[in-house]
Chains A and B, each alone.
Chain A
Amino acid sequence: MAINSLNQRIHAQAFRSVFVACLFYVNVWAIIHILRQLPSWLLRMDSWEIFGTVSYLLTAALIESSLLVLLIAFFAILIPSSILKGKFSAQGVMFATISTIGAVGLHYGGVNILAWGLNQFLFTGSLFILTAVGMFFLVARVQRVEIILNSLSQHLTGLSYVYLFIDILAVLIVIIRNV
């Protein structure tokens, strides 16, 4: 019964759409920064070590993407279905997008969380939640936004599956290195 209820809220297709967005954002960030750091790794690692390191990093990207989509699905389960209105796909892509924008902002803003006090955590957390809630209602009420988000997810599908394939290869390499 619970599974039926979950299926009613989150269709497999919608789940895939959100996962595609998560994979895309996390992998694009990872690959860009791996490529940026590669020249400095060439100074200190041999090719086998670089190969291994990149495998761990891409494995981490797959885990990160999976955890993000699961987190989004978890939130979707908590939200009453009358509010979600079968828009899991668009709402999920929206949440993945604003999470990514927030994370990129924090990274490029040079924030040092290790020096944060409680107030900074509360302020940043509140800002994120308010933005997410605002965007949630925007998606719920403005069909144009929903269409854009769904279309975005569709356009990312091909590339995201390439990333998924590379990430799975990386997982296999990590397993082989540790057997």
Chain B
Amino acid sequence: MNPKLDRRAVLKLLSLLSAAQLGQPFFSRATGINSKDPKSPNILFIVFDTLSARHVSVYGYNRETTPNLLRFAEKATVYHSHHAGGNYTTPGTSSILTGTYPWSHRAFQLTANVIKGYEDRNIFHEFDGRKYTRIAYTHNSYAHVLLHQFRKDLEGLLPPQALSRWNSQFLDQLPEKDRNAISWAEVALTGAIGEMPTSLFYRLILNSVVRYNWVKGSQEYKDIFPRGIPGLPHLNFFLEDAMDWTYQQVETLPQPYFAYVHLLPPHAPYVTRKEFVDIFMDSWQPPKKPKHIFATDVSPTQLGNFRRLYDEYIAYTDAEFGRLYEKLHKSGKLDNTWIVFTSDHGEMFERGISGHITPTLYESITHVPLIIAAPGQQVRQDIYSLTSCVDLLPTLLHISGQAIPEWTEGIILPPFSQASSDPDRSIFTVEAKENSKWKPLTKSTVAMIKGNYKLIQYKGYSKVPEHHELYDLAIDPEELNNLFKTKPNLAAELKNELTLKLQGINNRYQ
């Protein structure tokens, strides 16, 4: 028996099953599809989780991590100062999908979803379902919680396990209907966010099964993935499968379509494919940075190793994106398709901090890539003005000829807007994992960038009741020289603007 054929059959079956579970077939609106205008452009929106622009060679990183992305960028618009809305999946993805900052949609805690009232304020809802076929997939269960919240505006939504090789999470098999409560129960049962599990035995047994599957899978595929098989502990997958699935959707979806594909790599664990193992065993060293007050117990040597593993995983991710792009390019599928390439947040290996679950908002975490290729675009364009992930919703609606809702906090990105970009515009990134969803922001970190200057405000932490940092990103892109005390007038002006902004936001929750 051919295992590949077997697997495809299983994947198809899973698609049907999950669609049946949702009570809405992948392309349920048959009458709507017939009336769709095939001349409207398709939009393929690809999000690679945890991809820091500071590690992407297209943006000048020292290691050549993304040669394929560079090839894509040569016929696209490259945004050089694009920023995430949050520093991990939930707020970052919510801001992309709702076109609002975390202080508005309020999905800023682990496994959280957007507040009621924002369930209909999302990109899928705004894309006219009578005109567009809207589908979504993510490997990331936190992002899936959000997509599931928006499912009534999707013709197709696959659960994460649909494109996985091994899924050891029993609760994923339960019906999708009560997904939010199931997701939280899953986290509580397994103690997935560092708490003690509420189950006495489940986590011990589950983790034993997970470990067994991982060891078995890693043995089976050690020639391809010598560092182990990719994925999260409970869900292992190959990026290759997701790329093939994406191409299959592009080939078969009724046009025009809006397809949101959110892939986990290069999120940890950094387990690259064989040909990328040790490609960055070089002598290059990033700039030394002082240890932060929120530093964890990780040494500079470990940080260097993690950075190298991450960079090698990016190279693999880039190769797979390149494979997809090549196929799309050759097939002529790009003639009427916009491709959006971005990430929900970055990753950091500096100041004694590794990863992205941190109260800090340095550029490694907030600066993410954004590259948009218009149908048939042949010449590269570079945009250096400040942009935010909240701008994607209005921009994509604009380029597809649809109305832009008044509630979005974003703007139409240059060069698609007739108006020139506002040099006084401020953009924000918000971290508020430990703040109540229903109360004013009293324990949070907020980064505000205006022009060249970036103000970071820490508030309400026991370690740091209140602290500010100010950097000039034009002359100090590594954020080493805190100007908050040396430029008091500028610091006061920016702090005042941020305070007023937060007061306005917090008044809604008093």
Contact = CB atoms under 8 A, between A and B. Distances in A.
Q: Do these two chains interact?
A: yes
Given A45-B184, A178-B175, A103 B200 contact: yes
A36 B189 contact: no
A61 B224 CA distance: 40
Contacts of B177: 177-178
A53 B175 contact: no
Contacts of A43: 109, 434-438
Given A64-B201, A107-B197, A113-B208, A57 B188 contact: yes
Contacts of B214: 114
Which 10 pairs of residues, A with B, have the shortest CB-CB distance? A52-B181, A56-B185, A113-B207, A44-B109, A43-B436, A33-B198, A53-B184, A29-B200, A44-B112, A177-B178
A103 B204 contact: yes
A8 to B, nearest CB: 29
Interface string A94-105: 000001100110
Contacts of A34: 188, 198
A94 B176 CA distance: 39
B182 interface: yes
A168 to B, nearest CB: 17
Contacts of A113: 204, 207-208, 211
B180 interface: yes
A60 B201 CA distance: 10
Contacts of B196: 33, 36, 107
Interface of A: 25-26, 29-30, 33-34, 36-37, 40-46, 49, 52-53, 55-57, 60-61, 64, 68, 99-100, 103-104, 106-107, 113-116, 121, 174, 177-178
B211 A114 contact: yes
A178 B181 CA distance: 11
18 contacts: A36-B195, A43-B109, A43-B438, A44-B110, A44-B112, A45-B437, A46-B438, A52-B181, A53-B181, A53-B184, A56-B185, A60-B185, A60-B199, A99-B201, A113-B211, A114-B210, A177-B177, A178-B177
- Main SS of chain A's interface residues? helix
B129 interface: no
Contacts of A99: 201
A16 to B, nearest CB: 20
Given A104-B200, A114-B211, 16 more contacts: A26-B199, A30-B199, A33-B197, A43-B434, A44-B111, A44-B112, A44-B437, A46-B438, A60-B189, A103-B200, A106-B204, A114-B233, A115-B211, A116-B211, A121-B208, A177-B178
B201 A57 contact: no
A37 B198 contact: yes
A49 B181 contact: yes
Contacts of A41: 184
B202 interface: yes
A25 B201 CA distance: 11
Contacts of B211: 113-116
Interface in B98-120: 109-112
Interface string B344-361: 000000000000000000
A37 B197 CA distance: 10
A113 B190 CA distance: 12
A52 B210 CA distance: 26
A69 to B, nearest CB: 12
Contacts of A57: 185, 188-189, 198-199
Nearest to B434: A43
A30 B110 CA distance: 21
Interface of B: 109-112, 174-175, 177-178, 180-182, 184-185, 188-189, 195-204, 207-208, 210-211, 214, 233, 434-438
Instruction: Report which residue of A33, A36, A46, A56 has the largest number of chain B beta carbons within 10 angstroms of its beta carbon.
Output: A56
Nearest to B180: A49
Contact of A37 (B109, B112, B188, B437): B188
Instruction: Report which residue of B180, B189, B199, B233 has the largest number of chain A beta carbons within 10 angstroms of its beta carbon.
Output: B199
A34 B434 CA distance: 18
Instruction: Report which residue of B175, B201, B211 has the largest number of chain A beta carbons within 10 angstroms of its beta carbon.
Output: B201
A177 B181 CA distance: 10
Contact of A25 (B185, B200, B207): B200
A124 B175 CA distance: 35
A56 B180 CA distance: 11
Nearest to B193: A40
B436 A42 contact: yes
Nearest to A68: B201
Contact of B198 (A30, A100, A103, A178): A30
Contacts of A44: 109-112, 436-437
Nearest to B110: A44
A64 B188 contact: no
Nearest to B183: A53
A64 B200 CA distance: 8
Given A52-B181, A56-B181, A57-B188, A114 B207 contact: yes
A53 B195 CA distance: 15
Contacts of A116: 208, 211
Contacts of A64: 199-202
A63 to B, nearest CB: 9
A68 B201 CA distance: 9
Contacts of A106: 204
Contacts of B208: 113, 116, 121
Contact of B195 (A33, A56, A174): A33
A56 B190 CA distance: 13
A61 B435 CA distance: 30
Contacts of A53: 181, 184-185, 188
Given A106-B204, A114-B233, A178 B178 contact: yes
A40 B433 CA distance: 10
A107 B199 CA distance: 10
Contacts of B204: 103, 106-107, 113
A4 B109 CA distance: 55
A26 to B, nearest CB: 5
A177 to B, nearest CB: 5
A75 to B, nearest CB: 15
Contacts of A25: 200
A106 B197 CA distance: 11
Contacts of B438: 43, 46
